[in-house]
């Protein structure tokens, strides 16, 4: 398998260009597990960089590759912004021995040391007002990029906001994201409602805006902005 070359965009960030074998990485430990995948910390044997490997869970192999993962990969390959988690490459783990068991697939991301949820739960962490402003600006810049490219995130929450030791915030987890056709709301004007129906089975319960709680299906990018407001509130008043 040919290793991908990481081309760079105008900001200097490497772009997704291919697929590698999982043998290109040394596993360093498990970071966590969610509905759509398991996440591991690993080191690249090629360049020594630390990465996060998200193993795509196949709940029912007869249904084929999960549509949520396919949608996430497709979107992330198109995105390039400092405040959006970057998909470096895909990696495949082929089964040993006999049989026709399907290969395991991993999404490879740059490693981010923290997520906002974990920092808020840490009693030793106290955000200053300048820090809160800095992170909120980065969050809004990332979201402006998404909405400007007609993409709804649909799962804005503290656990999906990753923060590096250098103070860079990135929006992550695009499993529920999808393109939308409506133009983004204009400054000083109401956004109205969408021109088509979307599922209301999005956004983690405690972060859901009123339109989702009321089962309104023609929502707009405002549902992401509700999550931004909630995140700001968490910065200002951390968990008990």
**Angle separating helix axes 222-236 and 129-148, nearest 10 degrees:** 170
CATH 3.30.200.20 placement within the chain:
14-110
CATH topology assigned to domain 114-236: Transferase(Phosphotransferase); domain 1 (1.10.510)
Residue 96 annotated as binding?
Answer: no
| pLDDT at residue 111 greater than cutoff 90 | yes
Distance separating the N- and C-terminal Cα atoms of the chain:
50
How many whole angstroms separate alpha carbon 138 and alpha carbon 146?
13
Per-chain mean pLDDT for the chain: 84
| pLDDT at residue 133 greater than cutoff 50 | yes
> What are the catalytic residues?
155
Q: Tokens at residue 20, please?
A: 């590698």
CATH topology assigned to domain 14-110: Phosphorylase Kinase; domain 1 (3.30.200)
* 195-237: pLDDT as tens digits: 788 888 899 888 999 999 999 898 889 999 999 999 999 887 7
How big is the chain, counted in residues?
240
DSSP annotation of 84 reads B
Question: What number is the average pLDDT over the span 61-88?
Answer: 87
Q: Is the pTM of this model over 0.75?
A: yes
Q: Tokens at residue 183, please?
A: 């133009």
Supply the pLDDT for residue 96.
67
Supply the pLDDT for residue 68.
81
Supply the pLDDT for residue 91.
94
Side-chain half-sphere of 116: how many Cα atoms within 13 Å? 29
């Amino acid at each position: 398998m040919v290793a991908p070359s990481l081309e760079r965009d105008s900001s200097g960030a490497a772009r997704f260009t291919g697929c590698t074998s999982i043998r290109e990485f040394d596993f360093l430990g498990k970071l966590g597990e969610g509905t759509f995948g398991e996440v591991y910390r690993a080191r690249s044997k090629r360049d020594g960089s630390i990465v996060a490997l998200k193993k795509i869970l196949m709940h029912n192999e007869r249904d084929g590759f999960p549509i949520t993962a396919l949608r996430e990969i497709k979107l992330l390959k198109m995105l390039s912004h400092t405040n959006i988690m970057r998909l470096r490459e895909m990696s495949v783990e082929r089964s040993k021995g006999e049989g026709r068991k399907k290969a395991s697939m991993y999404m490879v991301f740059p490693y981010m040391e923290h997520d906002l949820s974990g920092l808020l739960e840490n009693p030793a962490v106290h955000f200053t007002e300048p820090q809160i402003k800095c992170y909120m600006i980065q969050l809004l810049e990332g979201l402006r990029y998404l909405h400007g490219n007609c993409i709804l995130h649909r799962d804005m929450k503290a656990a999906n906001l990753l923060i590096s030791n250098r103070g860079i915030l990135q929006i992550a987890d695009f499993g529920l994201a999808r393109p939308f056709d409506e133009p983004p709301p204009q400054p000083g004007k109401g956004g109205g409602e969408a021109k088509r129906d979307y599922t209301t089975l999005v956004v983690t319960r405690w972060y859901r805006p009123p339109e989702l709680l009321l089962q309104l299906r023609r929502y707009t990018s405002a549902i992401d902005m509700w999550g931004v407001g909630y995140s700001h509130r968490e910065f200002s008043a951390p968990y008990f």
